[in-house]
A and B are shown apart, each in its own frame.
Chain A
Amino acid sequence: MRLYAVVAAGGFRRYATYRVATAAGVFTNTVFGFIMAYTYIALWDERPQLGGYDLSQALTYVWLGQALLMTCAMMGGGFEDELIERIRTGDVAIDLYRPADLQLWWLSGDLGRAAFHLLGRGIVPLVLGALVFDLALPRSPLTWIAFMVSVALGVVVSFAVRFLVALSAFWLLDGAGVMQICGLAGMFFSGMLLPLNLFPGTLGEVARALPWSSLLQIPADVFLGKHTGWGLIGAYAFQGGWALALLAAGRALQTVATRRVVVQGG
């Protein structure tokens, strides 16, 4: 357990090193937040209460999206590039020799990364957004805590998906294609481009049932107080269920994949 805490701290520190990049990222998130906020204002101006949100809830949704974009790695980005590279070059053999579990090792590092991105790239855009627009921030500290739990579950779901994608490199060797598809799906089905409540008919139902809705739609709805009491338990169960299922799939795939590793002497 201590080992994984150290790995997580390492993941945090690693991203904390790039201060200028973080500042540049905050700038980008803020610019996109502004552009999206204005498009949402135009949209809600035509149709108030669209998707069950009022305008200030919709604007809050925009800024939460910017705050969680990197935290939940919706477009990908994070450990998977590195793991794919290690699988391609064969360095993964060294990882397998370590007295640590491959999946837990990378999960710990990714949790550290997510924690840094939440602090480094999440808080400032949200605060800036709240200064300019009228956001629906929760009054009760309990809602904030409930939100944080939901974000944490979202990060685990995101990790579990990306771990599966990375492991596909054992068979494909080049993970670029799968990573791109995964990034696109993450961007679209997390609700980053538009809340999933606004997706019509079957598309909406499918989108809300897919794991990616755990990355933004559900945490945002928890933040906006749409899930309370048993509803909140249900939301957690949805996220936790996907997390466990995907982690288990990753574990199974890992067992099959490691049997394929042939260490060449040299």
Chain B
Amino acid sequence: MAEGVSALSNGLRAYGLIAAMWMRSTMTYRASFVMTAFGNFAATAFDFVAILLMFSHVDALGGYSLPEIAFLYGAAGTSFGLADLVMGSMDRLGRRVRDGTLDTLLVRPVPVLAQVAADRFALRRLGRITQGLLVLGYGLLVLDIDWTPLRVLMLPLMVLSGAVIFSAVFVVGAAFQFVAQDASEVQNSFTYGGNTLLQYPPTIFAKDLVRGVTYVVPLAFVNWLPALYVLGRPYPLDLPQWPAFLSPVVAAVCCGLAGLAWRVGLRSYRSTGS
């Protein structure tokens, strides 16, 4: 147990050091940083513009109004943005496996996961988080929510658990790349695809799809279940309300599974020798 804790703090420290190094290097070119951060912001903003354009034709989508969808969108976007900031570099792993540069990371006395995750730490991804928070803020401002202490508590719980669940998906995706070297796009379907999915209410999707992201890849715990609790809406699969509070538990289980997958992946790694 003590060993595990020290390994974890060791990994976090290494992550911090590497991330700080990349931040310093980014800040050397300040103008470039500002531009890419803005680009990151604008890139994600276009998704929401598309939703606004949809609402220029309709008043509700799947029974949900624009502010409600903004709330879902903002919550998913912020969670995903946080995960992308912390773990978004994981999809470079496939390239490292292919060109053999992963070997360099293996010989360093620092946890490999921390090195891969912090590799080219990109502060410009704050642009995505900012965009998510703005839309979330708009949703909260316009919506008339019947606030209770539990609903208030649910907000940070939802965003943070969501970020952890997405991070776990990033790690599982990276572990898969030990096997399937140039399949980083599969990971994108679950991360970027999951984010897009969660921007819309579950009522518009087929029942089986909703079941899949509730019980198999538990993306529904990122925002659907907790957000529908805050909005006071029933969950489409006739689930009761209490699973909304399971998000942190689900997030913890996801982390455990992701850690396991990462270990199996790393063990199976064979250098290309080039």
> Which residues of A does B touch, CB under 8 Å?
18, 20-21, 23-25, 27-28, 31-32, 34-35, 38-39, 41-43, 46-47, 50, 174, 176-177, 180-181, 183-184, 187-188, 193-194, 198-200
Contacts and interface: CB of A to CB of B under 8 A. Distances in A.
Given A28-B189, A35-B196, A47 B183 contact: no
A177 B35 contact: yes
Nearest to B182: A21
Contact of B49 (A23, A39, A42, A188): A188
Interface string B28-72: 000010011001001100110110011011111110000000000
A38 B188 contact: no
Contact of A184 (B43, B62, B181): B43
Contact of A31 (B57, B58, B182, B193): B193
27 contacts: A20-B181, A20-B182, A21-B182, A23-B183, A24-B185, A24-B186, A27-B185, A27-B189, A28-B188, A31-B189, A32-B189, A35-B193, A38-B204, A38-B205, A42-B61, A42-B62, A42-B203, A176-B36, A177-B32, A177-B36, A177-B39, A180-B43, A184-B46, A198-B57, A199-B53, A200-B53, A200-B56
Contact of B57 (A39, A47, A174, A176): A47
A31 B209 CA distance: 11
B197 interface: yes
B60 A193 contact: no
A48 to B, nearest CB: 11
Contact of A28 (B36, B193, B203): B193
B58 to A, nearest CB: 4
Contacts of B62: 42
A32 B181 contact: no
A39 B200 contact: yes
B184 interface: yes
Nearest to A26: B185
Given A20-B180, A177-B36, 12 more contacts: A24-B183, A27-B189, A35-B205, A39-B204, A42-B61, A176-B36, A177-B39, A180-B36, A183-B43, A193-B49, A194-B53, A198-B54
B206 interface: yes
A28 B47 CA distance: 17
Nearest to A204: B53
Given A31-B189, A35-B196, A198-B53, A187 B46 contact: yes
Interface in B145-203: 180-186, 188-189, 193, 196-197, 200, 203
Contacts of B36: 176-177, 180
Contact of A194 (B54, B182, B186): B54
A20 B177 CA distance: 11
B58 A46 contact: yes
Interface residues of B, number: 37
A41 B204 contact: yes
Q: Identify which of B181, B184, B185 gathers the most chain A CB atoms within 10 Å of its CB.
A: B185
Contacts, number: 95
Contacts of B35: 177
Nearest to A34: B209
A199 to B, nearest CB: 6
B96 to A, nearest CB: 15
B135 to A, nearest CB: 16
Contacts of B59: 46
A181 B60 CA distance: 31
Nearest to A75: B43
A200 B52 CA distance: 11
Contacts of A193: 46-47, 49-50
A39 B198 CA distance: 11
A180 B44 CA distance: 12
Contacts of B56: 200
A46 B60 contact: yes
B168 to A, nearest CB: 18
Given A38-B205, A177-B35, A184-B42, A18 B182 contact: yes
A31 B186 CA distance: 10
Contacts of B60: 46
A27 B192 CA distance: 13
Contacts of A25: 185
Contacts of B193: 28, 31-32, 35
Given A32-B189, A180-B39, A43 B183 contact: no
A191 B184 CA distance: 26
B127 to A, nearest CB: 11
Contact of B58 (A20, A32, A43, A187): A43
A23 B176 CA distance: 14
Contacts of B189: 27-28, 31-32
A174 B53 CA distance: 34
